[in-house]
Structure 1
């Protein structure tokens, strides 16, 4: 009589372990990509919040100019310097053109950063806010 074997052969066990190992490596790679993407999303959110913060700080002081002159960056130097320090502390590798020359009634606030997680186009690593301030011309006092 021929006795039937029960159980698995060593070869079958090795093949199953190999397949399970490849699956686990795939899950680990997926998790790493998710973490990289979430960090990039976090950087974009911080940049947007910081750009809006600068707009709010300029907005608070619009009456200092009284709408008669174009406000220069020197008027807002303290506000801009404090904002830029907060920006670089919150977003590593961040630079900003911010208010480098003039704060006009229509202006742009640009925040750029270097995303080390992805080698992508630099245009993806920036936030540009188009800002329009009201002209108070003599209405503040």
Structure 2
């Protein structure tokens, strides 16, 4: 009977190694989730900045249309200066650090190239330059010259 009792050893609980391996797997999973959350925040902020850049470019198109309707239209350089001054004085300019605007008129046409650029140094040591360029054709009104 002693021989039979010896073979019936029962496990009483988890070993320390099993607990450490489980803790390591859980910690690795939580670290992965934190990295995923950080990347999501970075991409979301970048999308927000691109939306602001799109609004700034749309404002330039509206200024161009308004300029065409004026009796004495401004030159492209003067229009660009006013446009840049407006957006640099706007309180929301903090969302686009290093904002730079460019308005180029193709000579002799109503085609304009609008460029909005800014720096994204917030998420790393390297300053990443982001830029949007839009090309727009402004056609004169039917009753115009």
Question: Fold match, TM over 0.5?
Answer: yes
Give yes or no for contact 1:51–1:110 (8 Å, CA) kept in 2. yes
Superposition RMSD on alpha carbons, in Å? 3.2
Unaligned 5+ segments in structure 2 are none
Say which one has the larger Rg: 2
Q: How does 1:123-134 map to 2 (within 5 A)?
A: 125-134=130-139
Given the superposition, is the C-alpha separation of residues 136 and 89 from structure 1 closer, same or farther in structure 2, using an over 3 Å criterion? farther
Give yes or no for contact 1:58–1:76 (8 Å, CA) kept in 2. no
What SS is found at the alignment partner of 1:61? helix
* 1:44 aligns to 2:50 (yes or no): yes
* 1:108 aligns to 2:109 (yes or no): no
Tell me how far 1:136 sits from its aligned partner.
4.5
Tell me how far 1:121 sits from its aligned partner.
6.7
Normalised to the residue count of structure 2, the TM-score between the two structures is 0.73
> CA separation in 2, counterparts of 1:70 and 1:57?
10
* 1:94 aligns to 2:90 (yes or no): no
| Aligned length in residues | 134
Unaligned 5+ segments in structure 1 are none
More strand by share: 2
What SS is found at the alignment partner of 1:113? strand
Normalised to the residue count of structure 1, the TM-score between the two structures is 0.75
Other-structure match for 2:12: 6
Q: Note the alpha carbon deviations across 1:29-59, whole angstroms, 9 max, x for none.
A: 1111111111111111110111111211221
